[in-house]
Amino acid sequence: MDNNEVLRKLPKIDQVLNDQRLVAVFEDVPREVVVDAVRKSVDEMRKDMLAGKETDAESIFERVEKLVKKTGTKSLRRVINATGVIIHTNLGRSVLPEDACRNASFVSTGYSSLEYNLKKGTRGSRHDHIEPLIKRITGAEAAMAVNNNAAATLLCLAAISGEKETIVSRGELVEIGGSFRIPDIMDISRARLVEVGTTNKTKINDYKKALTRDSAMILKVHKSNYAIVGFTDETELEELVGLGKKAGLPVAYDMGSGLIADLSEYGIREANVENVLKTGIDMVFFSGDKLLGGPQAGIIAGRKKYIDKMKEHPLARALRIDKMTAAAMEAVLYEYLDEENAVKKIPVLKMITDSEKELEKKAKKCAEKIKEALKENEGFHISVQPSENRIGGGTTPLTILPGFAVVIGHNEITPEKTEKSLRANSIPVIARIHKESVNIEMRTVTEEETDIIAETLKSIYGGEDE
């Protein structure tokens, strides 16, 4: 049989696209994705035919469906975080409360009052939706939000320090992630960096000696993602505030994570925003998507005269938050009006405060589900073991939270293979490998997600032993 006769059996692209068997595929993905998948599938089938491979023309529909599922899946997807790291930078940091998601969806599916004053019927400010709540919760005179904490630092330096000097301890010239460093942010803002003290010791006299006519601000930066221990000395906030008042200079504090709830009884010793503002400091800024438990944002709070300068600066427009972030953040901050309730309803806070007893109970339930899912495969051994969890996101680096994990091992299947298979699920499960086993950490997994994990393992290994 010559090539022409072979290729006559090749299905026509238009015929495949018009076949009713592709209707279900068209419903979920754009037509162009399906058209592209049909063309590629026909090309693959042509190559197979010319190579003499046994090819059924009807298999085109199966080929198209597989290719659409592979290429039509969106890149940004929901995953299950089974690592035990609560604020996982690579996995989207904080999980939003349901009310925040609903509010963002409700506001975004229509027009909104983002910059419209409903009472006056005139132009409004997007700051008006969040500022009153921040003021009420923290006791600040004024507040605003920008798109992340690096933006908050940049805006503060540009608006308050300008081209003058900002004094910072050498021990606080941190890298805040993704190779972004405080000195780099200062360069972009055009503020002139004045380093004082040493890496491990900076005293109040170091700041005093650095004061000149060109001094515009004193900046303190929280060492949120590392700790210096041993022979150290750090100037207290109250001392810096006192010096700032004597010198007539504003003092700002980049808090990094920005804890609002009091979690001291759970072993979290982070500085609290309200307590920091009580020192008399002029400005604080912190992340919205870390310990606050909200969407990505940088919150700036403090004295009105400085916040107003930042609102009026040209950079404020470039760094402002959008309507979805504003809607989600408003809903999250609303929960903090009742702090006890906030700990229960904001996922990050709930994960941090979950007790060992609760985690062990959840781990045992999950282990039973997994054992049931894998009962046809005798090579697996499943157990519940104590583990160590972390808050993550560059916060409280020395804090270890006691947890419980479901530990999955196999006589022949490597943990690397199981971990990779879990990642390949339609809802990827991101687990960790520890001591030649796969750990499913309960602190970052919900009850509903334990069912998905069990079903995923069943679909991978529920049949014959590999």
For 383-414, write each residue's pLDDT tens digit: 999 999 999 877 777 788 999 999 999 989 99
Check whether 466 has a pLDDT greater than 50.
no
Q: How high is the pLDDT of residue 389?
A: 94
Q: How many CA atoms lie within 13 A of 189 on its CB side?
A: 29
CATH code that applies to domain 98-345: 3.40.640.10
Helix (H) or strand (E) holding 298: strand 298-302
Distance CA 455, CA 439 (A): 16
- Out of 71-75, 250-254, 266-270, which region has the weakest mean confidence (pLDDT)? 71-75
Distance CA 278, CA 425 (A): 49
On whether the pTM is more than 0.75, the answer is yes
Q: How high is the pLDDT of residue 98?
A: 95
Mean pLDDT of 361-365: 97
- Band (pLDDT 50/70/90 cuts) for residue 238 is very high
Q: How high is the pLDDT of residue 465?
A: 43
- The residues, ordered by sequence, that sit 6+ positions from 118 with a Cβ below 8 Å of its Cβ are 124
Residues 423-450 pLDDT 10s: 988 899 999 999 899 999 999 999 999 9
Given a contact cutoff of 8 angstroms between Cβ atoms, the answer to whether 431 and 439 are in contact is yes
Check whether 464 has a pLDDT greater than 60.
no
Q: How high is the pLDDT of residue 79?
A: 96
Q: How high is the pLDDT of residue 29?
A: 77
Q: How high is the pLDDT of residue 327?
A: 97
Q: How high is the pLDDT of residue 2?
A: 61
Residues 9-57 pLDDT 10s: 787 888 888 777 777 667 777 888 888 888 888 888 888 878 777 777 7
Residue 433, φ and ψ in degrees, nearest 5: -100, 130
Q: How high is the pLDDT of residue 384?
A: 97
Mean pLDDT of 213-221: 94
Helix (H) or strand (E) holding 48: helix 31-50
- Band (pLDDT 50/70/90 cuts) for residue 8 is confident
Check whether 202 has a pLDDT greater than 70.
yes
Whole-angstrom Cα Rg for the chain: 28
DSSP strand pairing (380-392 vs 401-410)? antiparallel
Check whether 319 has a pLDDT greater than 50.
yes
The average confidence (pLDDT) of the chain is: 89
Long-range contacts of 89-92 (CB under 8 A, 24+ apart): 89/177, 89/392, 89/393, 89/394, 91/430
pLDDT over 70 percentage in the chain: 94
Distance CA 174, CA 177 (A): 9
Mean pLDDT of 87-107: 95
pLDDT over 90 percentage in the chain: 63
Check whether 243 has a pLDDT greater than 90.
yes
Structure tokens at 336: 């903090």
Distance CA 209, CA 223 (A): 23
Distance CA 387, CA 57 (A): 54
What residue has token string 């003290």? 197
Q: How high is the pLDDT of residue 231?
A: 60
Q: How high is the pLDDT of residue 66?
A: 81
Which tops the pLDDT comparison, 361 or 41?
361
Mean pLDDT of 357-361: 97
Which tops the pLDDT comparison, 162 or 385?
385
- Report the DSSP beta bridge partners of residue 299: 145, 286
DSSP assignment, residue 278? Answer: T
DSSP-assigned letters across all residues of 170-208 = GGG--B-STT-BHHHHHHHHTPEEEEES-SSEE-HHHHH
What residue has token string 């709540």? 133
- Which CATH number among 3.90.45.10, 3.90.1150.10, 3.40.50.1820, 3.90.1150.180 corresponds to the domain 80-88+353-461? 3.90.1150.180
Q: How high is the pLDDT of residue 69?
A: 74
